[in-house]
Amino acid sequence: MRLNTLRFAMLSLALTAANHPVKAATPVFASGYTDLSRDCRPAFADAELEEGQDNALRCKGSGEYGLFIYFSAMDAMLTVENARGDTVFDMPLTLDDYERGKVEWRLADGHAFAIIVRMKPKGAPETLEIRGIDSRRTIHRSVPVAGRKNANAQARTEADKAYVAGVR
């Protein structure tokens, strides 16, 4: 009789635990930064370039990710690469100031999931562009800067909310 009571109690406890899903821990968010004037180096040796070709830049990033900046006739284009050199970014961003700007890396539990880049296109309002990387590459957000004292904080919040929502 006592054994049956113990079995019943254990079964009840197991069923109760199964009906109460464990809530996932909230990730710890943080930021890292790449200074484009300090953290970038030529991507190729001069001997590898064709005559008149601009050298691309490789910049330190966060963890296994780095930045790759290449040049077209008029623009500097920014992408994100993993350690193998694979692009882990949906669409390149056109940089307005690749020589002085900064790129903010958003991290969840120490792993990069997005970048935030200040964009100042000619004739258009300044924005902070948020782009997801790797499995979060479909994160695409834009935060207007004009008239906002807290645009950087808002961009971080937008990135973090997209991460928590599981935008992929």
Distances (CA, A) of 53 to 45, 70, 72, 75: 12, 11, 9, 13
Q: Is residue 2 part of a domain?
A: no
How many folded domains does the chain comprise? 1
Both tokens of 35, joined, read 């200074």
55 lies in a domain?
yes
- Whether 119 is in a domain gets the answer yes
Would residue 41 count as lying in a domain? yes
Decide if 132 is inside a domain. yes
Q: What is the pLDDT of residue 25?
A: 78
Per-residue pLDDT of 78-124, as tens digits, reads 999 999 989 898 889 988 777 778 999 999 999 999 999 999 888 88
Lookup: tokens for 164? 């928590």
> What's residue 123's pLDDT?
84
Please report the pLDDT score of residue 67 as a whole number. Answer: 96
pTM, 2 dp: 0.80
Which segments of the chain have a pLDDT < 70?
A: 1-24, 46-47, 49, 52-53, 167-168
pLDDT of residue 15: 54
Task: Name the token pair of 95.
Answer: 């940089």
Query: Residue 18: inside a domain, yes or no?
Result: no
Residue-number span of the structural domain to which 144 is assigned: 24-165
Q: Give the three-class secondary structure for 155.
A: helix
Q: Which pLDDT does position 52 carry in this prediction?
A: 62
pLDDT of residue 148: 87
| 143 part of a folded domain | yes
> What pLDDT shows up at residue 69?
92
Q: Is residue 9 part of a domain?
A: no
pLDDT at res. 12: 57
Of 124, 121, 114, the residue nearest 158 (C-alpha):
114
Determine which helix (DSSP H) or strand (DSSP E) holds 126, and give its type and residue range.
none
**Alpha carbon distance 168, 165 (integer Å):** 9
Instruction: Give me the residues paired with residue 41 across strands.
Output: 58
